[in-house]
Structure 1
Amino acid sequence: MTDVNPKTLKAVTYLVPDLPVEIFETFMEYLEETLKMPSYLIYESRWRSPPIDRNLFATGEADIGFMNSTGFLRLLEEEKDSNVELCPVGVVHENPMVGDRAVYFSDVIMRSDNGHEYKEFHDLKGHKFAYSEPNSMSGAYIILDELKNQKTNSSFFADIFQSGGDKKSSHLKSIQMVLKKQVDAAAIDSRVLKYFLLKNPHYEKELTVLTSLGPMPTYPIVFRKNLSAEMKTNIVKALISMPKNPKWASRLRELCISNLMSTTMELYYLEKEIRDNIKGLTLKPAYY
């Protein structure tokens, strides 16, 4: 059944705390003002995407959402009668390598005082490495892709530590593990690292990016599939116009967002290509 005239706009984000909740609050404040309807935001930090048995889109408790791309593709692939579809708008986060593409990178970080020892990814051979969780595009998949491209596997590292749970990302904990010298290096979502350093500028001199791997597709904005076509169209038009509104463009710049641009499912084929390339490969962590 399609909602013809929903009275409120209900949103959920699965990307907090790695990304600041202020990003998603700002989007919903803007949509509330532009669409002239009350909006609400739930943030769920236990998962990176909806668990099958707690899918707020299936129950009608969420109209729009923000989740990681791996979880979004899982919903489309594993649940043939999926309750979500892509909102064709991508968030462009400030990064000199991004340009005007809705992509991001994985920053392989180390302590700056190890700069004499590590010059390129290959120098991490035999050292301790941390990543967020097994289904993390930026924490695990892209690292496996790089290892395969270098004709090696997870045995390349002396020890591998998983900082988060199997379904819960913890890029922030991975950063702390590097700072505390518990590991030599870690793979961090480039957006997470940027926000971390903005809030903790005193760590800028302590951390160095050894290399950046990617690009990878930005987190998808998704619709509840049976949301009315009129509402979907209105939301897309509003989001695409957001960077052109001086007031809201300023808010976006404060959040290090440079643009909101049109996207299609083709963007997420980037992830499928990487996943196909690493099929059968895993990182073997010692849980931390």
Structure 2
Amino acid sequence: MTVGDWSTLLSGIIYGSECSSMESTQDNGNLANVRHIILVMSGKGGVGKSTLSTQIALALRHAGKRVGILDVDLCGPSIPRMLNAVGKEVHQCDSGWVPVYVDQEKTISLMSIGFLLDGQDDAVVWRGPKKNAMINQFINDVAWGELDFLIVDTPPGTSDEHISTVQALRPFKPMGAVMVTTPQAVAVGDVRRELTFCKKTGLAVIGIVENMSGFVCPYCSECSNIFSKGGGEELAKYAGVPFLGCVPIDPLLSKSAEEGKDFIQEFPNSAAYPALTSIAKLILEKAALTI
């Protein structure tokens, strides 16, 4: 399948004036009015990149920002489910694809290959060139309009998809990458390789988040370190980059992701809430310095 073959998957596309207000007047196309681009990365799968991408976007939205999420995890597009957007249709206008809006106020927009597949169980069985072409099309052909932040959720690893994403975004001067790890030494080692990738590609590192950092009992509030603890903070010290915080294992956060609910809005008293809002605050402070 080539990129052009996506027309067969987009038979429901609606041409209209939906993005007439999105027309770019600058030379850098559909990302012209995106102020800050942040990549969420980790050399390892299963550390919670998609969950962190979603929650950072929600926290920034509740801080009054307009946020887009670009899901370039082509083989595991989970963000549509986390934002209760499964089954939504992608439309098209003169500027390209219109992202899916996940709230009535249109403050969070999302693009994912999950919207282009016939069914949720369809697999993307592609070699590198086809994946790279799809990533380039996502970056160049989605009419994001005016955004304060574009969060890019990446797959695990440091190979083709990451190189394509960083190269395609380089002209737009991304703010940098948020690295996600879990406390174990195995995960920290993989993230260390991702830091090397960023150094080699010239991508700044905003900071490191240690996810699944202890389990806070919902009944007694005692924190149990199911895994080891402190690996993310030690890695940040080793690499000389900011440590953004620890996010504990929180059943309410898992429930929200499964059901596509707004965790930040619904569970302000949960164990993970202060950690996630603190991470968003640090990102906002960093963004204010890069304007």
TM-score between the two structures when normalised by the length of structure 2: 0.29
- Where relative contact order (Cα < 8 A, 6+ residues apart) is larger, the structure is 1
Q: Which has the larger radius of gyration?
A: 1
